[in-house]
Structure 1
Amino acid sequence: MPDGRLAAGGRLALTTFTVAPLRAGRVDRSTAGTAMALAPAVGVLLGVLLGAVLGVLGAVAPPLVAGGVTVAVAALLTRGLHLDGLADTVDALGSYRSGPAALQIMRQPDVGPFGVTALVLVLLLQAASLAALAGRPWPALLAAVAAGAATGRLAVSWACRRGVPAARPDGLGALVAGTVGPVTLAGLSVGVALLAVPSVPGRPWQGPLAVAAALAGTLLLVRHLVRRVGGITGDVLGAVVELGTTLFYLGLVLTG
């Protein structure tokens, strides 16, 4: 991969998945593919920061408060874009419409009852799961939160794999659809699974299993959305981030 494309892709990944105040650089499908491949690495950076926030707060505040504040910080660091995508996607699915009619619902600026319900549930589950992780040793805590954020972005890489179409001829979905190849996906998946190994002390298998379960859930969602709306959009990618992260956290805490 040429150095120029890697740098441009890294800049695009940071500006897409975080509030990093970087200038917009080159934006084309080649750069977009690099950005989607680097998405899990951006997740690791975010996760380490959020894990530090959770660890510090967990030492001075009740676990649920620490978890709630950490979720709020995550929303601030991502401009709430993924949450907005989740709400829009669930509203479209809840309408029981398909094709252009469902896409039109995604475009609307307001949030309907299905979207609000999805936001409340996801934020509650994330805060409660992080609260359960707050008391773990620092190495496990940082690994868990970093792997959770990386898993959500790894799900985006998978959503952008070859063979998955864009729902519209314009927008973020059209730019990134089909840009990530199978070899890259395999390497990214192994890397995130290894990152998750220390997440649960004494159970090295549980973290990688949580990664696999989260990916399975997001792949099912993408498959359903391809049938309903014709492919992926920027909103779909946001929904995938939040669902993947939430499922990973649940996979770590449901069995202790």
Structure 2
Amino acid sequence: MPDSWRLALGTLTVLRVPPPRAVTPVVAGRAMLLAPLAVLPLGLLVTVVGQLGARLALPPLAVALVAVGALAAGSRALHWDGLSDVADGLTASYDPARSLEVMRSGASGPAGVVATVVVLGVQVACLAPLLTSTRGALVAGLLVCASRAALAGCCLRGVPGARRDGLGAAYVGTVRLLPAMGLWSVAALALLLAAGWPGLVALALAAGVVAALLRRVVRRLGGVTGDVLGAAVELSLAAMLLGVLTGGPVG
């Protein structure tokens, strides 16, 4: 378990931790299941930024932008890079090999830029009203953590990998269905207690978005990559933020 914690913290946050002694499929799978707990510091960061902004009476939109920027910095913008690469890859060609090559290049094309702007805009627009209250800021931090449950869904056994190398290759197919269902159940309970029924709407919407993304990349690319994992996180967070506001402002 210590190796899984180190892998999760070292991969998903900027926290400096000793590297795991070995990255086996068991270690990698547990790291994905631990992802929501590993990013607790990032969730707390978003909550603190929101509270500081409210105390200083700063414009909510500006506070939300700072919160999203701080969250990106705290994760090395790894997931944003994945979102951009996936958007470019899926629009570059119908040939899987060509699409994967575009994703590997790391350069952001028009589709990647648009996808990043749209998803970032949704996150900021939804965070702005949440961060104006203490309860809303706490819910926002919880959603940051819960959105990382998308990683376990992408790494389920039976979901193929698109390539044998790359950051995501070590995680593909390492998570069993039952633990993943347990993780999502815990997330559902936490969101229900924190936000009421809109919390469950948020989780259901995120699950649908992740499932749609997986279906698309498996059909177009042949499976998931590390970039797909990152895209799933950012899309999941945007979906959760939208879903939690379906019942009106939180707070």
Task: Tell me if TM exceeds 0.5.
Answer: yes
CA deviations 1:115-157 (Å, max 9, x no partner) are: 0011111111111111010223x23421x22332123210111
Note the C-alpha offset of 1:199: 4.0
Distance 2:15 2:70 in 1: 14
Q: Give the secondary-structure state (helix, strand or coil) at the position aligned to 1:56.
A: helix
Q: Among 109, 114, 129, which residue is 1:112 paired with?
A: 109
CA deviations 1:192-245 (Å, max 9, x no partner) are: 112212443xxx111022111111111110111011111111100000000000
1:155 is aligned with what amino acid?
A
Percent of aligned positions with the same letter in both sequences? Answer: 39
Q: Judge conservation of contact 1:151–1:215 (CA < 8 Å) in 2.
A: no
CA deviations 1:79-99 (Å, max 9, x no partner) are: 011000000000011124231
Q: Give the secondary-structure state (helix, strand or coil) at the position aligned to 1:145.
A: helix
TM (norm. structure 2) is 0.93
Q: Among 171, 189, 199, which residue is 1:194 paired with?
A: 189
1:30 is aligned with what amino acid?
V
Q: Which residue of 1 aligns with 2:154?
A: 159
Q: Which residue of 2 aligns with 1:59?
A: 55
Q: Judge conservation of contact 1:43–1:146 (CA < 8 Å) in 2.
A: no
Note the C-alpha offset of 1:173: 2.4
2:137 is aligned with what amino acid?
L
2:172 is aligned with what amino acid?
A
Deviates more, 1:22-31 or 1:224-233: 22-31
Note the C-alpha offset of 1:100: 1.1
Note the C-alpha offset of 1:51: 1.2
Cα RMSD, aligned residues only: 1.4
Q: Which residue of 2 aligns with 1:134?
A: 131
Distance 2:245 2:201 in 1: 12
Distance 1:20 1:44 in 2: 12
TM (norm. structure 1) is 0.92
Distance 2:45 2:12 in 1: 14
Matched, 1:29 2:25: yes
Matched, 1:102 2:102: no
1:228 is aligned with what amino acid?
R
Q: Which residue of 1 aligns with 2:236?
A: 244
Matched, 1:146 2:141: yes
- Specify every segment of 5 or more residues in structure 2 that has no aligned partner in the other structure, as ranges: none
Q: Which residue of 2 aligns with 1:68?
A: 65
- Specify every segment of 5 or more residues in structure 1 that has no aligned partner in the other structure, as ranges: 1-5
Q: Among 219, 223, 231, which residue is 2:211 paired with?
A: 219
Note the C-alpha offset of 1:31: 1.1
Q: Which residue of 2 aligns with 1:175?
A: 170
Distance 2:174 2:54 in 1: 40
Q: How many correspondences in the alignment? A: 246
1:15 is aligned with what amino acid?
G
Deviates more, 1:45-54 or 1:85-94: 45-54
2:45 is aligned with what amino acid?
L
Q: Judge conservation of contact 2:45–2:70 (CA < 8 Å) in 1.
A: no
The runs of at least 4 consecutive aligned structure 1 residues that moved more than 4 Å come to: none
1:86 is aligned with what amino acid?
L
